[in-house]
Structures are given as structure tokens and as C-alpha cells.
Amino acid sequence: MPSALLRLSGAIDAITERVGRFVYWLVLATVLISAANATVRKLFNYSSNAYLEIQWYLFSFIFLMGAGYTLMRNEHVRIDIIAGRLSARAQNWIDVFGIIFFLFPMCIIIGTLSWPLFMDSYVRHEVSTNAGGLIIWPARLMVPTGFALLFIQGVSELIKRVAFLHGDIPNPLEKHHGKSAEEELAEEIARQRSLELPGEKP
């Protein structure tokens, strides 16, 4: 396996890692907006469709932009009743087949079909039909962007699977039982707070 391809895989993983960590914060933002919206509605009998729709937008962003990160961390759902009993090489061969013949075509088809919908929405300045709703094109842009990121991460995963089959790297399918996403988010919040308030301990 040429070292240039492994460096490319590492660069893609670094980008995906940054996107994933950004998505962490959007989870927190979604929860805070939802809580604030519910509180204002109960206390002041006031609400807006914009508050509801921004929650939908953020949830969609988290799901679509986090797909590549989930693939990189090997945390996506697997039906491994049979594959789980196979050797590491067989499992990686299955992934190579799945990436080439399922993941890549799916990303290309969905990305290709969703792009004209985004362009049409952007050109027409499409706005939600709900009173006080948001513009629509950012939500439509999430679909091709999310699947483009997933496709790029698929390239990285394919490189790693082939590199393992050539004996160049350890098994990329082995899960390293480190900290959970929730624990990493909590630590990141504590770290940011310690930077803002250096006199206090997180």
C-alpha cells in the first residue's frame, strides 16, 4: 500500500474528526434550544415556528454530518450474526465489497438526486410554508453535503481495509474501548470552561 494513500486516509480522518467534534456541540445546542423553547412557551405562552424548525435543522445536520464520523469510529449498526464469526480478513473483505458496491453507489445516487433540489430551492429562495418559518435551502444543502462527506470517509475506510489486507496496518475493525462520545463532550465542555475561567477548576 503506497504511503501516499495512507497519508490521504489520515488527512480524511482528521477532517472527519473535526466535523464530528463540531457536531458534538450541535447536540448541546439542540438540547438548549429545545429546553428554552419549552420554557418560554410554558411561562410566557409564546412560541415560534422558527424555534421548532431550527431544532429540525440541527437534528438533520447532526445526523447527516455525523454519518462519516460514525463510520470512521466504527460505531454504525452492523448485522454481524454471520460476519462476527468470520476471521478479521474475511470481515475486511466484506467491508471492501460493501463500500465499493453499496456505500459509494448510495452516496453518489443520493448526492446527485438531491443537488438539483437544493439548487431549485436556493434559486427560488424557498421559505417554509409555516408562519415565521425558516428558509429551506440550507436544509436541502445538508443532504448532498452529508453524503459527500460520507463518500470521502468511505474512501479512507477503503484504503484502511486494503492496507490491512496487505499487512500494512492493524485491523481497522477493532474497536478501541475508549471514552464514549458523551464523556468526550463533557470533557470538552469542562476544558472550554476552564479556559474561560482560569481561576476555577472544571
pLDDT at 202: 47
How many whole angstroms separate alpha carbon 187 and alpha carbon 176?
18
By C-alpha distance, which of 25, 57, 50, 38 is closest to 142? 57
Give yes or no for a contact between 148 and 107, defined as CB atoms under 8 angstroms apart.
Answer: yes
The pLDDT score that the predictor gives to residue 23 is 93
Average pLDDT over residues 128-132: 85
Query: pLDDT confidence of 86, banded at 50, 70, 90?
Result: confident
Percent of the chain predicted with pLDDT > 90: 65
Cβ–Cβ < 8 Å for 93, 174: no
Per-residue model confidence (pLDDT) at position 5: 94
For 40, counting Cβ atoms within 10 Å of its Cβ (0-12 exposed, 13-18 middle, 19+ buried), the class is middle
With a cut of 50, say whether residue 159 has pLDDT above it.
Answer: yes
Helix count and strand count (H, E) for the chain: 7, 0
Per-domain residue ranges of the chain: 3-170
CB 22 within 8 A of CB 50: no
CA atoms of 201 and 65, how far apart (whole Å): 33
Measured distance CA(131)–CA(80) in Å, rounded:
47
Q: How many CB atoms lie within 10 A of CB 123?
A: 9
- In this predicted model, what pLDDT tens digit does every residue of 42-59 receive, in sequence order? 888 887 888 889 999 999
Reduced DSSP (H G I as helix, E B as strand, rest coil) percent helix, strand, coil of the chain, to 5: 75, 0, 25
What is the average pLDDT across 109-122? Answer: 97
pTM: 0.82
CB atoms within 10 A of CB 157: 24
Give the residue among 19, 32, 127 at the shortest CA–CA distance from 69. Answer: 19
Position 199 confidence tier, pLDDT thresholds 50, 70, 90 = low
- What confidence score (pLDDT) does residue 183 get? 66
Does residue 3 register a pLDDT over 50? yes
pLDDT tens digits, one per residue of 58-69: 999 999 999 999
